[in-house]
């Protein structure tokens, strides 16, 4: 099993914890369907204050998470960056650091470097990379102090990306996700962007999987099932299968939930993950 697969498993479990334990702006468990559209509550909530977060602090915690063997090269590059003789040397090192953080699956510090690069060259690719990394960073952390900063940075990034390429669906999807996560716009504006994406591209993976997650958060599991099935029809992957199984479980469809869990387990032959899935299946059978 490669490093990327391991991170996917950890991310799925972490996201499930986030999905049920942390409120997303505008998303609540519904008492009825009258105040909801597409899995999102229409009532507004207060925007969380943004704590100033810098790459140095994020880098320190990320290096602790990946361990000294993987962090060594990154530390060397950071040291070189602090002593860069000119702007060109600094830019080159920032590109290397962004790639290094990508290689060890740490989106938050990578996002800061892509953001710095984008603010310099105003390139679509760097804005899109920054926005995607900050959306992932938001998704994979339960630290409510840093989440608003990630959202703010992702909104900035995707708004600039859309100015450069207004019809790009990746940028539209990313901005929609950022808005629902707590951007300056209302969550319904974010959902509208995601629905516009699937109208143009019904099979769009990123839009569908996020619409499914937001539907789960609001308790509309039937809508979530439809979204995840659309994703899985293109390619069976651990994350959407896990969410599909959870949605079936919440709907009381035990047979379907067990089948989805088993497919999920087959795709991730990791003993620890398999034991966790077996526990879920056992609970459904008892």
Conformational region of residue 122, where left means phi above 0, alpha means psi within -120 to 50, and beta covers everything else? left
Does some domain include residue 111? yes
Owning domain of residue 112: 49-185
Q: What is the pLDDT of residues 207-220, one digit of tens each?
A: 999 999 999 988 99
Q: What is the pLDDT of residues 93-118, one digit of tens each?
A: 999 999 999 999 999 999 999 999 99
* Spatial separation of the C-alpha atoms in residues 268 and 62, rounded to whole Å: 25
Residue 197, pLDDT above cutoff 80 = yes
Tell me, what's the pLDDT at 127?
98
Residue 182, pLDDT above cutoff 60 = yes
The CATH number covering residue 178 comes to 1.25.40.10
The confidence band for 6, taking pLDDT boundaries of 50, 70 and 90, is very low
Q: What is the pLDDT of residues 218-227, one digit of tens each?
A: 899 999 999 9
Q: Is the dihedral of CA 50, 180, 135, 246 positive or negative?
A: positive
The confidence band for 186, taking pLDDT boundaries of 50, 70 and 90, is confident
How many domains, in total, are found in the chain? Answer: 1
* Spatial separation of the C-alpha atoms in residues 72 and 87, rounded to whole Å: 24
Does some domain include residue 9? no
Question: CA distances (Å), 252 to each of 88, 222, 247, in order?
Answer: 59, 11, 9
Does some domain include residue 248? no
Counts of helices then strands in the chain (DSSP H, E): 14, 2
Does some domain include residue 21? no
The model carries a pTM of 0.83
């Amino acid at each position: 099993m490669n490093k990327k697969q391991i991170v996917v498993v950890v991310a799925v479990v972490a996201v499930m914890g986030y999905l049920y334990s942390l409120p997303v702006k505008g998303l609540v468990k519904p008492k009825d369907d009258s105040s909801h559209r597409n899995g999102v509550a229409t009532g507004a909530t207060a925007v969380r204050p943004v704590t100033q977060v810098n790459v140095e602090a994020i880098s320190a915690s990320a290096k602790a998470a990946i361990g000294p063997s993987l962090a060594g090269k990154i530390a060397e590059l950071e040291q070189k960056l602090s002593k860069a003789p000119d702007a060109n040397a600094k830019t080159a090192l920032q590109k290397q650091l962004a790639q290094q953080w990508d290689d060890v699956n740490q989106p938050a510090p990578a996002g800061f470097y892509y953001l710095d690069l984008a603010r310099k060259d105003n390139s679509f690719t760097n804005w899109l990379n920054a926005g995607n990394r900050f959306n992932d960073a938001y998704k994979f952390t339960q630290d409510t102090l840093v989440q608003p900063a990630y959202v703010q940075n992702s909104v900035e990034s995707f708004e600039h990306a859309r100015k450069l390429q207004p019809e790009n669906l990746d940028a539209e999807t990313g901005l929609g996700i950022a808005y629902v996560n707590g951007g300056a716009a209302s969550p319904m504006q974010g959902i509208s962007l995601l629905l516009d994406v699937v109208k143009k591209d019904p099979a769009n993976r990123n839009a569908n999987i996020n619409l499914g997650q937001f539907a789960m958060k609001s308790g509309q599991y039937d809508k979530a099932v439809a979204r995840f099935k659309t994703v899985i029809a293109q390619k069976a992957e651990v994350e959407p299968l896990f969410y599909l199984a959870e949605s079936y479980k919440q709907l009381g469809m035990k047979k379907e939930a067990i089948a989805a869990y088993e497919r999920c387990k087959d795709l991730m032959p990791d003993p620890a993950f398999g034991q966790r899935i077996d526990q879920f299946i056992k609970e459904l059978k008892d």
